[in-house]
């Protein structure tokens, strides 16, 4: 029975690609995303074509019980969850305070912060009992500095970062590796950046900054580091790291 890698937020970007990578390394990847059944099937299909194991579920993480039931079902039907990739974002673009509704603010928190709390509450006790597990949390610049128009996003991600540290403080010594991975830049991801920019501008960005210029972060390469972190020996765990394109300035420089 293969160990399971559960991906929350498995679009055609970091989530799906990391899932595919873990499948390639011998995990059964369970891909969960909110919408786009066709896209989900495409990702699962690609993993199957690689000759590896995966399954997919449409799941709205903010629905009551949705996360908890999925965790239970995966553990019962597929196997012990050894790795969680928590990849739910809450970026809604820049919005002034007046343009940020209570609902939007709460939604950001429900996905990016409460969502992780729910996953951890469901999964950590099982991992602790087994004495091992890994929770890889995709994070964003907004987790370390607030900015204009980022009221909802920064509040959600900042809370999430402190939650990661609190989870680490309780569970590291029980064998659970929590890593907070700060994605500090634009990812070559059709399902997030692509949708935010629209097809045309995204293609343009790819041609000018990405491609041979390597100025967009490549999900396959991000997956290398996610997998490395998950493989670190327990005497040398990384809790926090940043990732950005060589040609980009670090967040503290702009």
CB of 252 to a second copy, least distance (A): 4
User: Do residues 179 and 134 lie in contact, with contact meaning Cβ atoms separated by under 8 Å?
Assistant: yes
Is position 73 an interface residue for a second copy (rule: CB under 8 A)? no
Is 105 a binder of a second copy (CB under 8 A)? yes
Q: Which of residues 133-152 bind a second copy (CB under 8 A)?
A: 142-151
Structure tokens at 99: 């343009």
Q: Does 103 bind a second copy (CB under 8 A)?
A: no
| CB 32 within 8 Å of CB 43 | no
Closest separation in Å from C-beta 89 to a second copy: 15
Contact call for residue 157 and a second copy (CB under 8 A):
yes
Q: Residue 199 — φ and ψ, nearest 5°? A: -60, -40
Burial class (CB in 10 A: 0-12, 13-18, 19+), 1: exposed
Exactly one of 124, 137, 189, 230 binds a second copy (CB under 8 A); that residue is 124
Q: Does 208 bind a second copy (CB under 8 A)?
A: no
DSSP code for 247:
T
Question: How many other β-carbons are positioned within 10 Å of the β-carbon of residue 37?
Answer: 11
Q: Which is nearer to a second copy, 203 or 225 (CB)?
A: 225
Interface residue with a second copy, options 16, 177, 189, 205 (CB under 8 A) = 177
Q: Indicate which single residue of 55, 91, 126, 237 sits in contact with a second copy (rule: CB under 8 A).
A: 237
What's the rounded Cα separation, in Å, for the pair 178 and 229? 10
């Amino acid at each position: 029975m293969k160990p399971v890698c559960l991906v929350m937020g498995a679009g055609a970007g970091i989530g799906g690609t990391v899932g595919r990578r873990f499948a390639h390394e011998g995990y059964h990847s369970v891909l969960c995303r909110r919408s786009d059944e066709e896209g989900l099937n495409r990702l699962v299909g690609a993993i199957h074509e690689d000759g590896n194991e995966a399954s997919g579920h449409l799941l709205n993480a903010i629905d009551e019980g949705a996360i908890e039931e999925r965790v239970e079902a995966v553990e019962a039907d597929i196997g012990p969850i050894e790795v969680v990739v928590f990849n739910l974002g809450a970026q809604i673009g820049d919005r002034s305070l007046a343009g940020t509704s209570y609902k939007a603010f709460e939604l950001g928190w429900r996905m990016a912060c409460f969502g992780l709390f729910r996953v951890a509450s469901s999964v950590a006790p099982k991992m602790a009992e087994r004495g091992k597990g890994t929770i890889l949390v995709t994070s964003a610049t907004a987790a370390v500095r607030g900015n204009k128009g980022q009221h909802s996003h920064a509040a959600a991600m900042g809370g999430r970062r402190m939650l990661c540290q609190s989870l680490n403080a309780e569970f590291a010594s029980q064998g659970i590796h929590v890593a907070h991975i700060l994605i500090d830049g634009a990812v070559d991801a059709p399902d997030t950046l692509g949708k935010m920019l629209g097809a045309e501008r995204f293609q343009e960005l790819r041609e000018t900054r990405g491609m041979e210029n390597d100025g967009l972060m490549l999900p396959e390469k991000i997956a290398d580091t996610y997998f490395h972190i998950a493989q670190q020996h327990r005497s040398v765990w990384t809790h926090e790291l940043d990732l950005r394109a060589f040609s980009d300035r670090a967040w503290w420089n702009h």
